[in-house]
């Protein structure tokens, strides 16, 4: 049995099903590149049959990723499998991941099939997928509430049809670790190394990571997970936690380890949080804001004497690198800025460097000290290439004696600048109404979040908006950063509008999405 635990990352598929975590194609490509840099074995890039947008994202990611396997989910039906195969045509390494439910409650009420019908569908689906790709994964949806005898029957059938990876998901986050261990142990003995066993755990009871670890200890050699534990309902197994458990407590795992480059964990977490607008809670293990913070005097004293007194990992092990020796300010030049970018782990072309440097200099004129997180925000915006159909030129908000707010805005499209103003019940309301008037497209604000990216009263503000442009379609996320919160708000709304227009005919329709 292989000593390598494969990491199957589903941030772009299951993670995107987190409420509010929808991403546009350019953002998905950016995350896929970072996942490859992280060393992920398999990137589940989406569900090709669910929408034209998912199909295009998988197709474009397939053309870019050279080291990791690119995977598409599909139901156990031919049209889904054909769509997945077509989306993956240009991938260097490709995998089709097909699934069907196996628990009594799912088979009776959702599938309305008899067990023998389910086995036939599964085997036919795997055989069809195998006719198009060599690497086929099969999942028993709701495996942990399925009859163990039936699991053996269906797994035997799909192995004979050509499945090389067998996934046993805890779809509803129901089982306890010892139960997961027992299931995997019995199935591992039955499979007898004829296929790779995988676990996919949900976190409804807060046990996704523990269940995954018990799976590994009992024979699983692939773990399905997401960055920051994103996912449906309470989320999925957090990649960063599984990887660092295996590394930190390696003496308990008989040489088992992953190929993950752990120094890329924190940059990956930051990128996913910036793009989705969903940040880990401060006390989140490994990547939370407080994960390596020490406030207690006793702890601080111990850390100063020897970090190992209270730290079982080094911050640098997961990519939290202190770069404070290079203080950035208005007198910093391009060379220093370039070095700072390298230290923060970014790789940019000359155009991106120049654009980011111009924005950095403008920011330096507005605040005394520019922090690493300020620079990260600038770089993340500059390296996410969403077509700029509209560009914001001016935002100005004033209050009237009647309690109404007036926003004056200028927006450029196709080189022509358009200006207008609008009254609203508050600053944000007036800004959004003004953009709607100029663009001629009305958006419905579903969520609005503001955070300070650094410290001090002159901190750079990051605004994340979630806007619905079409009723019944998923809301679009937009990001904006500026030292002025209202300017950041306008930028975020325009960014959402641009994202919507760039993928108008490719918006993901989640109504057909199936969950593992």
Could you write out the DSSP letters of every residue in 234-247?
A: T-B-BHHHHHHHHH
At residue 307, the pLDDT reads 73
Question: What would the two tokens of residue 234 be?
Answer: 């309470």
Does the structure show a pLDDT above 60 at 387?
yes
Pick the CATH number of 391-505 from 3.40.50.740, 3.40.50.720, 3.30.70.20, 3.30.160.270: 3.30.160.270
pLDDT band at 68 (very low <50, low <70, confident <90, very high): very high
Question: What would the two tokens of residue 174 be?
Answer: 């129901």
Residue 464's H or E segment, with its range, is: strand 461-468
Query: Mean pLDDT across the stretch 267-296?
Result: 86
Least confident residue range of 147-151, 288-292, 311-315, 379-383 = 379-383
Phi, psi angle pair for 167, to nearest 5°: -105, 135
pLDDT band at 28 (very low <50, low <70, confident <90, very high): very high
Does the structure show a pLDDT above 60 at 284?
yes
Q: Which residues pair with 7 in a beta bridge?
A: 223
At residue 508, the pLDDT reads 38
Does the structure show a pLDDT above 50 at 402?
yes
In whole angstroms, give the CA distance from residue 363 to residue 361: 5
Does the structure show a pLDDT above 70 at 223?
yes
Residue 98's H or E segment, with its range, is: strand 94-101
Q: Which is it for strands 165-170 and 94-101: parallel, antiparallel or unpaired?
A: unpaired
Residue 295's Cβ-count burial label (10 Å; 0-12, 13-18, 19+) is exposed
pLDDT band at 503 (very low <50, low <70, confident <90, very high): confident
Q: Residue 88: which of 47, 121, 123 has the closest Cα?
A: 47
Residue 69's H or E segment, with its range, is: strand 69-75
Residue 71's Cβ-count burial label (10 Å; 0-12, 13-18, 19+) is buried
CA distances from 412 to 390, 415, 420, 421, 422 (A): 6, 6, 12, 15, 17
Does the structure show a pLDDT above 80 at 273?
yes
In whole angstroms, give the CA distance from residue 422 to residue 430: 6
Q: Is 0.85 surpassed by the pTM of this model?
A: no
CA distances from 450 to 210, 283, 430 (A): 33, 20, 17
User: For residue 361, what are the contacts with CB-CB under 8 A and spacing of at least 6?
Assistant: 330
Does the structure show a pLDDT above 80 at 466?
yes
What DSSP line would sit under 115-131, residue for residue? HHHHHHHHHHHHHHHHT
E-state strands within 131-227: 135-141, 165-170, 196-201, 222-225
Q: Which residues pair with 222 in a beta bridge?
A: 6, 198
386 vs 159 pLDDT, higher one: 159
User: For residue 151, what are the contacts with CB-CB under 8 A and spacing of at least 6?
Assistant: 102, 140, 143, 168, 187
Does the structure show a pLDDT above 90 at 296?
no
Asked if 6-283 and 391-505 have one fold, the answer is: no
Residue ranges of the domains in the chain? Answer: 6-283, 293-320, 334-382, 391-505
In whole angstroms, give the CA distance from residue 85 to residue 515: 20
Q: What percent of the chain is modeled with pLDDT above 70?
A: 93
Query: Mean pLDDT across the stretch 375-404?
Result: 83
Asked if 182 and 212 count as a contact pair (C-beta separation under 8 A), the reply is no
Tokens 């009871």 locate to: 205
Asked if 291 and 285 count as a contact pair (C-beta separation under 8 A), the reply is yes
At residue 396, the pLDDT reads 92
At residue 382, the pLDDT reads 78
Name, of 21-30, 109-118, 313-322, 379-388, the range with top average pLDDT.
109-118
Sign of CA dihedral 104, 110, 113, 118: negative
pLDDT band at 512 (very low <50, low <70, confident <90, very high): very low
Q: Residue 102: which of 148, 61, 69 has the closest Cα?
A: 148
pLDDT band at 158 (very low <50, low <70, confident <90, very high): very high
Does the structure show a pLDDT above 80 at 175?
yes
In whole angstroms, give the CA distance from residue 24 to residue 506: 9
Question: How many other CB atoms are there within 10 angstroms of residue 403's CB atom?
Answer: 8
Q: What percent of the chain is modeled with pLDDT above 90?
A: 64
pLDDT band at 200 (very low <50, low <70, confident <90, very high): very high
Asked if 106 and 141 count as a contact pair (C-beta separation under 8 A), the reply is yes
In whole angstroms, give the CA distance from residue 186 to residue 107: 23
Cα-atom radius of gyration of the chain, to the nearest Å?
A: 24
Asked if 187 and 217 count as a contact pair (C-beta separation under 8 A), the reply is no
At residue 380, the pLDDT reads 79
Tokens 């100029």 locate to: 438
Name, of 231-240, 340-349, 378-387, the range with top average pLDDT.
231-240
Does the structure show a pLDDT above 60 at 297?
no
CA distances from 366 to 360, 362, 457, 487 (A): 10, 7, 11, 13
116 vs 339 pLDDT, higher one: 116
What DSSP line would sit under 440-463, residue for residue? S---EEEEEEEEESSSSTTPPEEE
Average pLDDT, the chain: 89
Tokens 């001016």 locate to: 394
User: For residue 408, what are the contacts with CB-CB under 8 A and spacing of at least 6?
Assistant: 394, 395, 396, 397, 398, 419, 420, 421, 434
Q: Which residues pair with 397 in a beta bridge?
A: 407
Q: What is the pLDDT of residues 473-485, one digit of tens each?
A: 778 888 898 889 9
User: For residue 4, what are the contacts with CB-CB under 8 A and spacing of at least 6?
Assistant: 221, 256, 257, 258, 259
∠ CA 439-444-449, nearest 5°, is: 105
In whole angstroms, give the CA distance from residue 1 to residue 309: 36
Looking at domain 6-283, does it have CATH number 3.40.50.10790? no
pLDDT band at 54 (very low <50, low <70, confident <90, very high): very high
Max CA pair span of the chain:
78
Least confident residue range of 79-93, 305-319, 326-340 = 326-340
At residue 390, the pLDDT reads 93
Crossing angle, helix 372-382 and helix 350-364, to 10 degrees? Answer: 140
């Amino acid at each position: 049995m292989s000593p390598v635990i494969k990491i199957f990352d589903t941030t772009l598929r299951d993670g995107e099903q987190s409420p509010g975590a929808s991403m546009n194609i350019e953002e998905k490509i950016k995350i896929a590149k970072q996942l490859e840099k992280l060393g992920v074995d398999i990137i589940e890039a989406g569900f090709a049959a669910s929408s034209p947008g998912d199909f295009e994202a998988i197709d474009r990611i397939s053309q870019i990723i050279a080291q990791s396997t690119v995977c598409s989910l599909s139901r156990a039906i031919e049209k889904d499998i054909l769509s997945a195969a077509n989306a993956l045509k240009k991938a260097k390494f490709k995998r089709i991941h097909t699934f069907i439910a196996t628990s009594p409650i799912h088979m009776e009420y959702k599938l309305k099939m008899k067990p023998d019908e389910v086995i036939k569908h599964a085997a036919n689906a795997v055989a069809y997928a195998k006719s198009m790709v060599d690497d086929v994964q099969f999942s028993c949806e709701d495996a942990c509430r399925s009859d163990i005898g039936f699991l053996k029957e269906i797994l035997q059938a799909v192995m004979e049809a050509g499945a090389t990876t067998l996934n046993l998901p805890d779809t509803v986050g129901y089982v306890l670790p010892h139960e997961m261990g027992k299931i995997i142990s019995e199935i591992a003995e039955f499979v007898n190394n004829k296929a790779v066993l995988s676990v996919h755990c949900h976190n409804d009871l807060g046990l996704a990571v523990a269940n995954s670890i018990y799976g590994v200890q009992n024979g699983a050699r692939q773990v399905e997970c997401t960055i920051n534990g994103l996912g449906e309902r309470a989320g999925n197994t957090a990649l960063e936690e599984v990887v660092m458990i295996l590394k930190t407590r390696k003496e308990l795992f008989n040489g088992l380890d992953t190929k993950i480059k752990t120094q890329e964990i924190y940059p990956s977490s930051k990128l996913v949080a910036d793009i989705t607008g969903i940040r880990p809670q401060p006390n989140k293990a490994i990547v939370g804001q407080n994960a390596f913070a020490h406030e207690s005097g006793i702890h601080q004293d111990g850390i100063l004497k020897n970090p190992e007194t209270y730290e079982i990992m080094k911050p640098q092990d997961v990519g939290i690198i202190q770069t404070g020796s290079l203080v950035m300010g208005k007198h910093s030049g391009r060379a220093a800025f370039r070095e700072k970018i390298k230290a923060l782990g970014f790789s940019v072309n000359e155009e991106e460097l120049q654009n980011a440097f111009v924005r950095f200099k403008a920011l330096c004129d507005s605040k005394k000290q520019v922090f690493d997180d300020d620079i990260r925000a600038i770089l993340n915006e500059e390296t996410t290439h969403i077509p700029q159909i509209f560009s914001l030129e001016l935002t100005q908000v004033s209050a009237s004696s009647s309690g109404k707010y007036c926003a004056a805005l200028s927006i450029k499209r196709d080189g022509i600048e358009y200006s207008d103003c609008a009254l609203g019940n508050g600053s944000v309301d007036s800004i959004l109404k003004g953009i709607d008037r100029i663009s001629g497209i009305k958006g419905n604000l579903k969520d609005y979040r503001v955070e300070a990216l650094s410290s001090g009263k002159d901190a750079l503000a990051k605004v994340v908006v979630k806007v619905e442009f079409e009723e019944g379609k998923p809301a679009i996320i937009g990001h904006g950063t500026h030292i002025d919160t209202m300017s950041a708000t306008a930028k975020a709304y325009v960014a959402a509008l641009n994202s919507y227009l760039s993928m108008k005919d490719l918006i993901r329709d989640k109504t057909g999405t199936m969950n593992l």
